[in-house]
Amino acid sequence: MLAPPWLDVLDDTAHVCATQRRPDLADRIRRRRAQLLDEKLRVVVIGETGQGKSQLVNALVNAPVCAVGEDATTTVPAVVTHAEKPTAAVVTAGPRAIEGPARQPVPVEAVTGQANREAVAVSGPPVVRAEVGLPRALLAGGLALVDTPPRAAIETVDSADAVLMATDATSELSASEIQLLEQVVRLCPTVLVVLTKIDLVPGWRTVAQRNRNRLDQRGLMASLIPVSAALRLAAARTGDQALNAESGFGELVKCLHQDLPGQADLLARRSVAALSTTTVEALQNELTDEFAATQQPDNGDAVARWHAAGRRLEKLQRDANRWQTLLSDEVSDLISDVEFDLRDRTRKILVEVDEYFETADPAKTWPEFEEWLRENLTTVAETNSEWLLDRFEWIARKIARQVAPHREDALPDSLPREVPGDAVGDLRMPRVERFSVGQKLFVGMRGSYSGLLMFGLATTIAGLPLINPISLGAGAAFGAKSVFEERGNRLKRRQHAAKTAAHRYVDDFFLRYGKHSKDTARQIHRALRDRLNGVADELRGEITATAKTFKQAIDDDTTRRTVRANEIRRMMEELNVLRRRAQALATPAQLPAQRGITA
């Protein structure tokens, strides 16, 4: 026996659901597949509260199987099928439900009432449904009528081959009923709208026509059949055929007993078409949302971080050039300041040297002076060197705070702090002309000779001899004066020589230490420059690595989204093909009931 054509569509739909990781939809389709392969024709009766739904079922089977009344509201489904003798049971899912549902036999006329009561009870196992079996010709062909609770209509319609929607003739279809119909038609295209309680409304034909117009306006392909359950039950009790015909149930029974079973394959195809179409649409909606998500990547944070890393890299490059310029400027200013400080300190020492040798005799004080001068120059060298290094540390910290404020190793471990040992050098005593005793006698004799001769010649005029007491006294005075003047001249020459030697010594110190100071500054400058360049290179490497990581994540995400987008496109194409196959099953055909109004 060949499998029906709708079976492949249903199986492919279940497979697609499993592929798309929707086991709930796949299970729903498998359950529906098992129902369709069953010979039963499931007709689900739905309707809002008070529309005569349960009474309609009772009238169809001519038995009080469904509880009716103002205080009787259907809370669990009631399934009415054919049986050789009347049977009824309340089906519950008890503690041993894993072994199968439990059935509690109940009288037919009380089954739905008891099922409703147990369903709302606080204790006891949950009620699944009420089952009723009746020996009725209407049901003998495999027809199963399902009376549904108003709130569970959509869940039950999902497994229906056809739907009867009850709405009473006291008013037109409400907005909520129209909305319910629109939902039902999407799940089960074969829908009959049963207009109940026409015996209570003399103008029911007008209501029926208006309902029909509203259905046409909304594009709902549902037949409308007016009936009266009260007339039907009364006719059944009295056997009045005319009253039964007046109830309108003749056409409804004909649809359920002859038309629908005769078009079982059409109903199955239309049911599969609706089920597969709605399922495919649900999958397509999910894929559409996912596709939209792939077009709107959620890696905005990674992209922002990548761009931020690029900006940091550009800023680091600009800052590196600025740091080098700033370092060069600071070092140039520092060298100028250090040189000025050295010149100022040495100049002050030379002033003190000049003042000192205005009175001091180098021949007597030179060792003391030499020690003082060396100590002062050493102090100048140490002070100038400390100032140079302190200033370099300040410059280094200033630039390091801009280069890498979070890096404690941004600066070199240490800076050279030694003072050159030969910066002061050796100070040699200048040649000091000493005034010996012989030189004093010679100078004294030369001076006394002039005095003796000058005063001797002057006194000869007075008749005194050339050598006389006056000339001898003058000679002695002139000799002493000559010795005193020569001693002063010799002291000035010694002082001048000492000053010249000290100035030369300080100039030599300035040249030697100035050279050392500049060399030290250039050495530290190079060390700082290389260290800052190294830190900048490390930061550049870290930023580049970070940027590459973000870029790789962005590329991977883009690749993943591109691959997923292509997969979604392929899946959408497969779903479109499956949808067209499903829609092809629902070929136009005459509905089981006439589209017009049946009197």
CATH number, domain containing residue 170: 3.40.50.300
Which helix (H) or strand (E) covers residue 531, if one does?
helix 469-585
DSSP collapsed to 3 states, 235-247: HHHHCCHHHHHHC
* 381 lies in the same domain as 253: no
The predicted-structure confidence for 229-283, as pLDDT tens digits, reads as follows: 999 989 888 888 889 889 999 899 999 888 888 888 888 888 888 888 888 888 8
Asked whether the predicted pLDDT for residue 412 surpasses 80, the reply is: no
Task: Please give the backbone phi and psi of residue 165, each rounded to the nearest 5 degrees, phi first.
Answer: -110, 120
d(CA 362, CA 351): 16
**Same domain (yes/no): 237, 311:** no
Q: 43-52, 158-167, 311-320: lowest mean pLDDT where?
A: 311-320
Average pLDDT, whole number, for the chain?
81
Among 198, 232, 262, identify where a domain stops.
Answer: 262
Asked if residue 212 has pLDDT above 60, the reply is: yes
In a domain, 200, yes or no: yes
Q: Is the pLDDT score of 540 beyond 90?
A: no
pLDDT confidence of 438, banded at 50, 70, 90? low
Inside any domain, residue 570: no
As a whole number of angstroms, the distance between CA 329 and CA 399 comes to: 12
Structure tokens at 334: 């520092």
User: Has residue 12 been placed in a domain?
Assistant: no
Mean pLDDT of 345-371: 87
Report which of residues 411 and 347 the model is more confident about.
347
Q: Are residues 335 and 252 in the same domain?
A: no
Question: Which residues touch 424 (CB under 8 Å, ≥6 apart)?
Answer: 374, 377, 378, 381, 509
For 272-377, where are the E strands, in sequence order?
none
Report how many domains make up the chain.
2
Q: Is the pLDDT of residue 367 over 90?
A: no
Q: Which residue has the higher pLDDT, 320 or 201?
A: 201
92-121 confidence digits (pLDDT tens): 875 543 445 777 888 888 888 888 777 777
Instruction: Tell me the pLDDT band of 559, cut-offs 50, 70 and 90.
Output: confident
> For residue range 43-91, what is the model confidence (pLDDT) as tens digits?
999 988 888 888 999 999 988 888 887 666 778 888 999 999 999 998 8
Q: Indicate whether 363 and 251 sit together in one domain.
A: no
Task: Please state, for a pLDDT cut of 90, what percent of the chain lies above it.
Answer: 14
The pLDDT of residue 166: 93
Span 282-288, mean pLDDT? 89
Output the CA angle 70-71-76, nearest 5 degrees.
110
If asked whether residues 348 and 224 sit together in one domain, one would say no
Q: Is the pLDDT of residue 210 over 90?
A: yes
In this structure, is residue 499 part of a structural domain?
Answer: yes
Q: Which two tokens stand for residue 200?
A: 């209570």
Does 17 fall in a domain? Answer: no
* Count of residues in the chain: 599
Tell me: do 347 and 418 sit in the same domain. yes
Give the residue from 97, 109, 101 showing the smallest Cα distance to 68.
109
Same domain flag for 310 and 253: no
The verdict on residue 481 lying in a domain is yes
User: Residue 245, exposed/middle/buried by CB under 10 A (0-12, 13-18, 19+)?
Assistant: middle
* Domain membership of residue 521 as a residue range: 301-435+477-553
Q: Is 21 exposed, middle or buried (0-12, 13-18, 19+ CB in 10 A)?
A: exposed
Q: What is the DSSP letter of 134?
A: E
pLDDT of 475 higher than 80: no
Give residue 97's pLDDT.
38
Identify whether the C-beta of residue 148 lies closer than 8 Å to the C-beta of residue 77.
Answer: yes
Structure tokens at 570: 């392929």
- Taking alpha carbons only, the member of 216, 206, 167 closest to residue 56 is 167
Q: Is 441 part of a structural domain of the chain?
A: no
The answer to whether residues 160 and 242 belong to one domain is yes
pLDDT exceeds cutoff 60 at 410: no
Kindly tell me if the per-residue pLDDT of 139 is higher than 70.
yes
Boundary of a domain, candidates 209, 238, 262? 262
Question: What is the enclosing helix (H) or strand (E) of 310?
Answer: helix 300-356
Residues 203 and 308 grouped into a single domain: no
* One domain, residues 226 and 122: yes
421 pLDDT higher than 60: no
Residue of higher predicted confidence among 117 and 351: 351
Query: Are both 418 and 358 inside the same structural domain?
Result: yes
- Tell me whether residue 46 is in a domain: yes
* The pLDDT value given to residue 521: 85
Report whether pLDDT(206) > 90: yes
Tell me the mean pLDDT in the region 409-423: 56
SS3 102: strand
C-alpha distances out from residue 264 to 100, 214, 253, 439, Å: 30, 28, 16, 158
- At 481-498, the pLDDT tens digits run 766 666 667 778 877 888
Are 86 and 134 a contacting pair, CB within 8 Å? yes
Are 508 and 341 a contacting pair, CB within 8 Å? no
Residues 453-467 have pLDDT tens digits of 677 677 777 777 767
Question: CA separation (Å) from 417 to 332, 338, 512, 514?
Answer: 19, 15, 17, 15
> In this predicted structure, what is the pLDDT of residue 191?
92
Residues 64 and 170 in one domain: yes
Average pLDDT of the segment spanning 177-184: 90
Answer for the pair 346, 505: CB distance below 8 angstroms, yes or no.
no
Specify the pLDDT at position 597.
34
Cβ neighbourhood burial of 433 (10 Å; 0-12, 13-18, 19+): middle
Position 224 pLDDT exceeds 90 = yes
